[in-house]
Each structure stands twice: as structure tokens, then as C-alpha cells.
């Protein structure tokens, strides 16, 4: 008798909960329909989204640049201490659409050069070992490669891309969360009607998992697109460096030397390294840099071949 009474009670609770969540779903539908009826036009919506993305991207970019320099322990190189290096950078900047950047030296996990900041107030960070590892021509063409990133605003574009992904992900979460709550609530009510009441935590976990899985898929898709764009920009920066210096062989040699000397641990700064683990499809899809062999092969093809004298 007690078991029957318990089942009846659970059924009543389930019926009340079902009515509640169906009512909540209807109320959510009415609110959404009202908001949709008063929605701004598509142009305004896109403009607000873009302005939000630009604002968040700019903040992230400005604070991210300062944080990166701090994490690297980068120290600015005074002009009076490296006049030849600055003359080299000034000469390259004169031939490219970017002012001469500030130069920093740091001790990284691997020999590397990084362009941070924008084209109007950019910085280039050099690992101290590069000055022992590379000759003057290789340093020049490596600097030209980093200047090409500043010239094309590559860092800022990547930051805006991630900011856009976060903005869209947040909007999608707001849209999906009410739907997910109703779905989980109805499922919970039906479980009460079956006499098998789930825990509150289990229902909340299902809501979180449902919304999270959709947002994660969106973020993965955005990440793959941004990483593909980053790899393409590396090729274009190589091409721009060769165009400015006319020395594809020096850049190929510099990349090979860096590759042989580099063995970075995977960490917070690992996406910024020239060298990385390029094995496996997903690793290559998520890599920010193209495979080193492909980059070097492209550069080697552009090295002028010596003319041969034929005797007939």
C-alpha cells in the first residue's frame, strides 16, 4: 500500500512538474516571439555584433600583448646598444608598409622570433640565441617575415577572430539555455511519472552538457578556421619576406636552423613557436604554422639556380 501511495505521489509531482515546464516553455516562446517581433533590422544587428567584437578584441589584444611580453620576460633593446640591428630593421620597414617596431630580447623555450602588437605600434621579440645561431642575412630575412605579420595586422585579425567566436558562443548559449532547461525539465517530469525521479544535479548536468556540447562544436569549428588562416598567413609572410629581401635561401636556412635547435615543451606559449609536432591529422589541423618541410620546400623552389655552361 505504501509503495502504491508513493507511486501516486510521484505521479502527481510529475504531472505538476510537466505542466510547469510546458507552461515555462510556452512563456519562453511568447517572450522570444515578442523580442523577435521587435528585433532590429539585420544591418543594426550585424553592426552591434561587429562593434562588440571589435571592442572586446581590442581590449584582449592590448592587454594580451602586454601580458605576453611580461610572460616572456622580454627586455627592450636600446638603439644605442644595437645600432646595426636597428639600421637593418629601419631599412626593411622603409621598404614595407609599417613603421620600424621596437625590438625586444627574451629567453624562450626555443629559438624563435615573434611579432606582437599592431602595424603602428608593433614589437618584435627575438630569442637571444638567434644572434649566435643565424648569420646576418638570415636575421634580416627573419625580421622581414615578422614585419610582414605586423604589416598585415595578422595578430589583431586572429584576436578579432577569437573574440567573434566568443561573442557568437555567448549569444548561442543565451538562446539555447532556455530551450535546454525546458527539455531537461520535461524529461525530469516524465521520469517522476514513471516512478523513477532523477536527482536535481543530474538534471542540471544534462542541461549543462546539452548547451556545452553545441557551444564546444561551434568553438572547434571557429578554431579550425582561424588555425587554417594562421597557416596561410605564414606562407604569405614567407613570400613577403622573400619579395622584400630577394633571399629565399636565407629564410629556408634560418627555418631549418631554428627547427634543429628547437625542442619546446607544450605550454601556454607553444602556439607561437615556429617549430611544433606536425604528426597526425588533428595536430596539423590545429597547428598555427604549416609543416616545416613544406615551407622550406616552397622557399627552395624560389632560389635562383646557377646557370650552366654547355659545350657542344
Q: For helices 83-94 and 136-151, give the axis angle rounded to 10 degrees.
A: 50
What is the Cα–Cα distance from 299 to 249, expressed in whole angstroms?
7
Instruction: Indicate the residue among 106, 127, 153 that finishes a domain.
Output: 153
CATH number of the CATH domain containing 80: 3.30.2010.10
The answer to whether residues 93 and 147 touch, using CB atoms and an 8 Å cutoff, is yes
Considering the domain boundaries, does residue 55 fall inside one?
Answer: no
pLDDT tens over the chain, length 312 residues:
556 566 666 666 667 666 776 776 667 667 766 766 666 676 776 777 777 777 776 776 667 677 878 888 889 999 999 999 999 999 999 999 888 899 999 988 888 898 887 656 789 999 999 999 999 999 999 999 999 999 988 877 777 777 777 777 777 776 776 676 667 666 666 666 666 665 545 555 665 666 667 677 777 787 888 888 889 999 999 999 999 999 999 999 999 999 888 754 444 455 555 544 455 666 777 777 888 899 999 999 988 876 565 565
Q: 167 and 268 share a domain?
A: yes
Instruction: Indicate the residue among 129, 153, 177 that finishes a domain.
Output: 153
Predicted structure pTM score:
0.69
* Distance from chain centroid for Cα 308: 48
Q: 97 and 174 share a domain?
A: no
Domain residues for 179? 12-48+155-300
Instruction: Indicate the residue among 99, 128, 153 that finishes a domain.
Output: 153
Amino acid at each position: 500500500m505504501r509503495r502504491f501511495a508513493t507511486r501516486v505521489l510521484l505521479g502527481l509531482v510529475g504531472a505538476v512538474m510537466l505542466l510547469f515546464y510546458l507552461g515555462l516553455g510556452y512563456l519562453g516562446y511568447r517572450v522570444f516571439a515578442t523580442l523577435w517581433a521587435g528585433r532590429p533590422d539585420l544591418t543594426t544587428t550585424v553592426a552591434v555584433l561587429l562593434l562588440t567584437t571589435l571592442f572586446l578584441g581590442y581590449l584582449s589584444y592590448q592587454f594580451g600583448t602586454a601580458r605576453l611580453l611580461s610572460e616572456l620576460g622580454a627586455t627592450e633593446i636600446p638603439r644605442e646598444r644595437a645600432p646595426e640591428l636597428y639600421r637593418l630593421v629601419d631599412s626593411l620597414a622603409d621598404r614595407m608598409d609599417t613603421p620600424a617596431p621596437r625590438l625586444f630580447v627574451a629567453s624562450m623555450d626555443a629559438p624563435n622570433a615573434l611579432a606582437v602588437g599592431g602595424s603602428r605600434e608593433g614589437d618584435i621579440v627575438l630569442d637571444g640565441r638567434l644572434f649566435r645561431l643565424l648569420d646576418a642575412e638570415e636575421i634580416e630575412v627573419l625580421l622581414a617575415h615578422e614585419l610582414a605579420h605586423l604589416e598585415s595586422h595578422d595578430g589583431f585579425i586572429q584576436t578579432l577572430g577569437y573574440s567573434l567566436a566568443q561573442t557568437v558562443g555567448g549569444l548561442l548559449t543565451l538562446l539555447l539555455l532556455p530551450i535546454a532547461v525546458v527539455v531537461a525539465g520535461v524529461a525530469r517530469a516524465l521520469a517522476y511519472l514513471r516512478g523513477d525521479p532523477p536527482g536535481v544535479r543530474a538534471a542540471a548536468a544534462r542541461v549543462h552538457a546539452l548547451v556545452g556540447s553545441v557551444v564546444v562544436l561551434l568553438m572547434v569549428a571557429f578554431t579550425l578556421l582561424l588555425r587554417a588562416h594562421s597557416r596561410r598567413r605564414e606562407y604569405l609572410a614567407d613570400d613577403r619576406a622573400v619579395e622584400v629581401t630577394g633571399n629565399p635561401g636565407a629564410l629556408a636556412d634560418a627555418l631549418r636552423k631554428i627547427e634543429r635547435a628547437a625542442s619546446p615543451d607544450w605550454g601556454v606559449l607553444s602556439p607561437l613557436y615556429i617549430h611544433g609536432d606536425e604528426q597526425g591529422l588533428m595536430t596539423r589541423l590545429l597547428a598555427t604554422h604549416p609543416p616545416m618541410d613544406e615551407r622550406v620546400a616552397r622557399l627552395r623552389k624560389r632560389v635562383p639556380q646557377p646557370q650552366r655552361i654547355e659545350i657542344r
